[in-house]
Amino acid sequence: MHDQKIILSADTPCDVGEELKARYHVSLYPLHIILDGKQYTDGLDITSAQLYEAWWKHKLLPRTAAINPEEYQRYFATFLEQGYDVIHISLGSGISSSNPNAQIAADALKGKGNVYVIDSCSLSTGFGLLVCEAGERIQAGMPAMQIVEEVSALTQDTRASFILDTLEFMRAGGRCSSIAQIGATLMNLKPTIIVKNDRQGSMVVGKKYMGKLAPSLMKYIDDQLKDRTDLVLDRVFVTHSGMDDPAIIDKVVTRIRELQPFREVFVTQASCTISCHCGPNTLGVLFLTKPGSVN
C-alpha cells in the first residue's frame, strides 16, 4: 500500500457527473465561459440552457476560455501545501490550451511537491473514462507515478463520439461551413462527430444519419457497439447536452444494455464548455476499448 496522499483533479469538461465525482473524490477545476462580454464559471453560475437561449433569442454566441497557468498554479499549490501529490487530467491539447497551461503551472511548482499532468487527448466523458481509471488506481493504493504511467497509456483507448441534432452551433463557432449546415438541414442529416485521440482530441465528421433524431440515435448506438469484442466492459457513458425529449435517453440506455453487458452505464450531462459548441439534443456513447484496438 502506498502512503503518499493523492488528489485526483480534472478540468470540468470531463463531465463525470456528481455520483462519480463523489465516488473518486475528484476535484474539478472549471473553465471560463464568456457571454455578451461577461465571464462565467462553467457549472457554477451558468447553464447550457441559458447559453442556447442567448443564441436562439439574441444570436449571442458564448466563447470558452482555458484556465491560465497562474490560475492552475494557485489551485495546485493549495493541495501541495496540504502534503498531497496531484494527478490532474486535462482536456485534450488538440482542442484546448488547458493542458499546456496546466503543465506550465506544474513545472513552476517543482520543488514544492509533485503535480502530474495527463493530456487526456479527448473531451467530455472521453476523458471522464480516464478520470475513473485514475480514481480506481488511487483507491487501490497505487503510487502516483505508476497511476500516471498506466492512465497515460490508456489515452489512445478511449472512444468518444457524438451525434448532432443541429449544426447551427458548430457553424456559429466556426467549426463547420454554412454550406455544410444548409445541406444537412435540408436533408435532415444528423452527423456524427468523432474525437480523434491520436490527434490529442481534435474532431472530425463521421457517419451521417438521415431522418429524425431518435431512430438516428438507435442506428448510431448499433454502429458503435453491436457485435464488438474489443470493449472494456467496466463502464460506458451516455453523455448529452440537454435533450428536448428525456425519454430518448432511456431508450438509448436500454439499447446499450441489449447490445453489450457493461457493468455500469452512467448518464451524464455535458458541461457548458462542451454544450456551447455542439448545441442542444447532442448525445454520445463513450467507452474504452482493449489496447491495440483500431478506432
The verdict on residue 219 lying in a domain is: yes
Q: Is residue 248 exposed (0-12), middle (13-18) or buried (19+ Cβ within 10 Å)?
A: middle
Instruction: Indicate if 138 and 231 belong to the same structural domain.
Output: no
- 3-state SS class at 2: coil
Does residue 178 lie in a domain region? yes
CA distance 76 to 60: 34
Give the amino acid at 285: V
pLDDT of residue 96: 86
Inside any domain, residue 145: yes
Helices 213-225 and 247-259, packing angle to 10 deg: 20
Top-confidence residue, 44 or 18: 18
Pairwise CA distance, residues 17 & 12, whole Å:
10
CA-to-CA dists, residue 145 to 117, 275, 279, angstroms: 11, 33, 38
Task: Tell me what pLDDT residue 51 has.
Answer: 82
Q: What is the CATH number of the domain that holds 167?
A: 3.30.1180.10
* Residue 215 domain-assigned (yes or no): yes
Q: Please check whether residues 114 and 21 belong to one and the same domain.
A: yes
Q: Determine contact, residues 173/187, Cβ cutoff 8 Å.
A: no
The owner of cell 491520436 is 198
Q: Determine the pLDDT at residue 172.
A: 57
**112 domain-assigned:** yes
Residue 85 falls in which region: left (phi positive, over 0), alpha (psi -120 to 50) or beta: beta
Which whole number is the average pLDDT over 136-156?
A: 96
Residue 124: per-residue pLDDT: 93
- Domain membership of residue 57 (yes or no) is no
Do residue 74 and residue 126 come from a single domain?
yes
> Tens digit of pLDDT for each residue in 221-249?
999 999 999 999 999 999 999 998 999 99
Residue 9 buriedness (CB in 10 A; 0-12 / 13-18 / 19+): buried
Strands 231-240 and 202-210: unpaired
Per-residue pLDDT, 150: 97
- Same domain for 104 and 114, yes or no, is yes
The answer to whether residues 13 and 141 belong to one domain is yes
Residue 139's domain spans which residues? 6-34+65-156
- Tell whether 161 and 255 lie within a shared domain: yes
174-212 in b/e form (b: 16+ CB < 10 A) is eebeeeebeebeeeebbbbbbbbbeebbbbebeeebeee
* Residues 147 and 174 grouped into a single domain: no
Closest CA to 76 of 171, 11, 25: 11
Q: Given 108, 137, 156, which residue is the final one in a domain?
A: 156
The last residue of one of the domains, among 127, 156, 185, is 156
Of 97, 127, 156, the residue that ends a domain is: 156
Q: Residue 171's pLDDT is what?
A: 63
Half-sphere exposure of 265 (CA within 13 A, CB side): 17
Our count of domains for the chain comes to 2
Res 42: pLDDT: 80
Query: What's this model's pTM, rounded to 2 decimal places?
Result: 0.91
CA–CA distance, 294 with 97 (Å, rounded to integer):
27
